[in-house]
């Protein structure tokens, strides 16, 4: 009888729910498992990532937890709450977010940064073998993961396509109140899972708001097939090119019970991002320290004069002849309101671009700040910039002039209110119909013809691409950004220089000769035409293309042509709302212009004649042996091998540039 009673007690203990209960009001003595760039700061903050680009950080509880009843194979209930903060490096330019994670490993093997949040990679994202549950606070919209916006909370199972998501908001006073996840202020999150009813709820709110009675997300989820036993609980976050610091201030967790409330008053403070308020003693005792303030003011004035001299603009004797093409730094500083972040139009490979209004003329301009070494070839470079400033064409963005400071060059352009073409091609918030796209292609072609044949010198743009085509108020395309342009006299041979440009637009011969020509501009224009017609980038890397493999746009369109179905390459966003003959013409002409052998590419004058219907493309195709069913396979192989040379040893960013040192 005693043995039977003992056996019953042992069995009852075996099926009794396991309890794991911990709470951290700060992490100074937490002994968490930290990975990648995650650290615990000296004041007790858990900092997952900092402002370092393209990094990831992770932190997990010290030991794995048992989430399952080993006899019934059911999942225990659990509850957790934590306080987090996302502080972007540049306000209003959101980076990527963070996630609460339950994982079979504290290593998160293969997890990549940026939009993958350090959790997955393109090869395993969505695989049921991951056994990962996460609640994401996502501050960057990724169309490949079907994100609803750039400020949402989502429930993720084994991948980053959320099974349910909603914009960040809390319910109070009878309505939903939206708030920003990346405001830089603390946010509290509550996650609760009922293992009996298989119900999951997620609630979020700013830290100063009492816990809302209604959760933001509620979903019926059976985690029995997702969670293994045991599992690790913790956090993961990542940064991309737009950077942010991710913090956890406090964390509480309870298995088979309600997570303990955090002591908000005991949580560590975030690093100060605004100046400290002036002490009251300075206000009360101001009359007593007037003499000291006067002395300080004089000292500050002396320091200010010295700083003004130290950071004054560079002006050498040879620049005085350039007159109106030379802007004063003080005028550009005032025009851009001191180069404030709210005037920032964008960040590119060569610098930041700011919107400004010249106070003297009230003209709106775009000011690009570029780093430079004034000791190497600056006189020749500025001479070319000023020469380019004399060009006038309706399809070229006007380069108005420049300004130089120590270690910094500022290029001043005509302002384009509708930004760049790539925004309209690749952002789902914007769209262009076929007539608008064809008009833009013809306009850019006219601009290139002017550069190559109609101006007083031959100008090689060297960086023709969608992001360098800007749109005016009427959506007319203008070719801009002449920072890489080079010019030479008609009849002279172009000089050999370093390879520059953007990956995906570089002609194959550039990797061998390093010599830019009008033909290399034509190659880039051909890729640009394919980009406009298909709505695809020149190179799509693994994880971003439909096939999950690296896809070179020119190859893909070429294969469609070989199969006799070239119109399959048209942009799906257009549907069938385009003129088939025109679409076929642009696609074929794009392939001809981006032909591997430079000698087979047409000149810009021929291209315009074909686009305007004054010359048939059939003669051009036939003269080069490019019948769709009889294409020269050797040239295709040559193109691919050259493309491998260009793309094989670069970073994964499509817009990465190969600099020539300017």
Q: How far is residue 650 from each of residues 49, 138, 311, 653, measured CA to CA in Å?
A: 25, 28, 36, 8
Neighbours of 12 (CB within 10 A): 9
What is the CA angle 82-88-93, rounded to 5? 130
CA dihedral 187, 193, 199, 203 (to 10 degrees): -10
Phi, psi torsion values for 537, nearest 5 degrees: -80, 155
Active site residue 463: yes
Assess contact for 580 and 626: CB atoms under 8 A.
no
Nearest residue to 135 (alpha-carbon basis) of 179, 201, 186: 201
C-alpha to C-alpha distance for 615 and 606, rounded to whole angstroms: 8
C-alpha to C-alpha distance for 520 and 512, rounded to whole angstroms: 13
DSSP β-bridge partners for residue 250? 83
C-alpha to C-alpha distance for 594 and 527, rounded to whole angstroms: 6
Among residues 138, 147, 463, 521, which one is catalytic?
A: 463
C-alpha to C-alpha distance for 623 and 599, rounded to whole angstroms: 12
C-alpha to C-alpha distance for 504 and 525, rounded to whole angstroms: 11
Neighbours of 266 (CB within 10 A): 11
Residues 6+ apart with CB under 8 A from 320: none
Per-position DSSP letters for 240-268, written without gaps between them: -SS-EEEEEEEEEEEETSPPPPP-GGGSP
Annotate 515-526 with b (16+ C-beta within 10 A) or e (fewer): bbbbbbbbbbbb
Name the helix (H) or strand (E) containing 617: helix 617-623
Annotate 398-425 with b (16+ C-beta within 10 A) or e (fewer): bbbbbbbbeebbbbbbbbbebbbbbebb
Strands 486-488 and 477-479: unpaired
Assess contact for 254 and 24: CB atoms under 8 A.
no
Q: Return the beta strands (E) in 113-198 as ranges.
A: 133-138, 152-157, 164-167, 169-172, 175-178, 187-194
Residues shown for the chain: 662
Positive or negative, the CA dihedral 165, 166, 172, 174 is negative
Annotate 236-253 with b (16+ C-beta within 10 A) or e (fewer): bbbbbebbbbbbbbbbbb
- Give Rg (Cα) of the chain: 30
As a three-state string, the secondary structure of 68-123 is ECCCCCCECCEEEEEEEEEEECCCCCCCCCEEEEEECCCCCCCCCCHHHCCCCCCC
Strands 408-414 and 364-371: antiparallel
Strands 169-172 and 175-178: antiparallel
Active site members = 463
């Amino acid at each position: 009888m005693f043995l039977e009673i003992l056996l019953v007690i042992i069995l009852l203990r075996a099926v009794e729910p396991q309890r794991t209960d911990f709470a951290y009001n700060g992490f100074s003595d937490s002994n968490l498992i930290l990975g990648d760039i995650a650290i615990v700061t000296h004041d007790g903050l858990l900092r997952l990532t900092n402002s370092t680009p393209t990094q990831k950080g992770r932190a997990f509880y010290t030991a794995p937890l048992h989430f399952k009843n080993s006899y019934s194979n059911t999942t225990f209930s659990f509850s957790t709450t934590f306080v987090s903060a996302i502080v972007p490096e540049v306000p209003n330019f959101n980076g990527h977010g963070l996630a609460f994670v339950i994982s079979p490993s504290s290593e998160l093997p293969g997890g990549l940064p940026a939009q993958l949040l350090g959790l997955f990679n393109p090869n395993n994202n969505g695989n049921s073998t991951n056994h990962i549950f996460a609640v994401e606070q996502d501050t960057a919209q990724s169309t490949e993961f079907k994100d609803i916006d750039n400020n949402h909370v989502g429930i993720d199972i084994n991948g980053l396509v959320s099974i349910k998501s909603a914009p960040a908001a809390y319910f109070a006073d009878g309505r939903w109140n939206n708030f920003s996840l990346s405001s830089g202020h603390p946010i509290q999150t509550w996650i609760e899972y009922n293992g009996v009813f298989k119900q999951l709820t997620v609630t979020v709110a700013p830290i100063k708001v009492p816990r809302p009675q209604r959760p933001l997300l509620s979903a019926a989820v059976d985690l029995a097939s997702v969670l293994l036993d045991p599992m690790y609980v913790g956090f993961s976050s990542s940064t991309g090119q737009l950077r942010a610091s991710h913090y956890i201030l406090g964390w509480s967790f309870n298995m088979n019970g309600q997570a303990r409330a955090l002591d908000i008053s005991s949580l560590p403070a975030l690093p100060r991002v605004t100046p400290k308020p002036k002490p009251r003693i300075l206000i009360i005792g101001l009359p007593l320290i007037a003499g000291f303030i006067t002395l300080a003011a004089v000292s500050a004035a002396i320091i200010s004069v010295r700083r003004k001299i130290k950071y004054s603009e560079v002006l050498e004797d040879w620049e005085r002849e350039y007159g109106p093409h030379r802007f004063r730094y003080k005028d550009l500083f005032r025009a851009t309101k001191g180069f404030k972040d709210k005037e920032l139009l964008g960040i590119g490979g060569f610098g930041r671009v700011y919107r400004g209004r010249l106070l003297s003329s009230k003209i709106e301009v775009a000011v690009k700040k570029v780093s430079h070494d004034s000791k190497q070839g600056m006189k020749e470079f500025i001479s070319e910039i000023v020469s380019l400033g004399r060009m006038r064409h309706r399809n070229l963005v006007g380069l108005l002039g420049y300004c130089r400071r120590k270690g910094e060059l500022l290029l001043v352009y005509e302002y384009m209110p509708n930004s760049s073409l790539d925004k309209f091609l690749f952002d789902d918030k914007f769209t262009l119909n076929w007539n608008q796209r064809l008009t833009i292609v013809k306009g850019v072609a006219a601009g290139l013809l002017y550069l190559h044949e109609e101006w007083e010198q031959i100008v090689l743009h060297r960086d023709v691409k969608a992001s360098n085509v800007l749109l005016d108020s009427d959506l007319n395309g203008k070719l801009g950004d002449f920072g890489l342009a080079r010019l030479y006299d008609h009849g002279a041979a172009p000089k050999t220089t370093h390879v520059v440009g953007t990956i995906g637009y570089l002609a194959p011969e550039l990797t061998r000769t390093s010599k830019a020509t009008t033909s290399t501009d034509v190659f880039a224009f051909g890729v640009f035409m394919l980009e406009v017609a298909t709505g695809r980038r020149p190179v799509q890397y693994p994880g971003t293309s439909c096939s999950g493999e690296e896809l070179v746009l020119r190859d893909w369109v070429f294969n469609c042509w070989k199969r006799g179905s070239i119109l399959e390459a048209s942009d799906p966003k257009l549907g069938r709302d385009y003129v088939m003959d025109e679409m076929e013409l642009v696609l074929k002409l794009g392939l001809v212009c981006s032909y591997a052998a430079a000698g087979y590419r047409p000149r810009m004058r021929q291209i315009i004649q074909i686009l305007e219907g004054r010359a048939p493309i059939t003669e051009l195709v036939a003269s080069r042996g490019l019948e769709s069913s009889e294409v020269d396979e050797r040239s295709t192989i040559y193109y691919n091998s050259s493309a491998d040379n260009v793309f094989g040893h670069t970073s994964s960013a499509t817009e990465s540039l190969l600099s020539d040192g300017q």
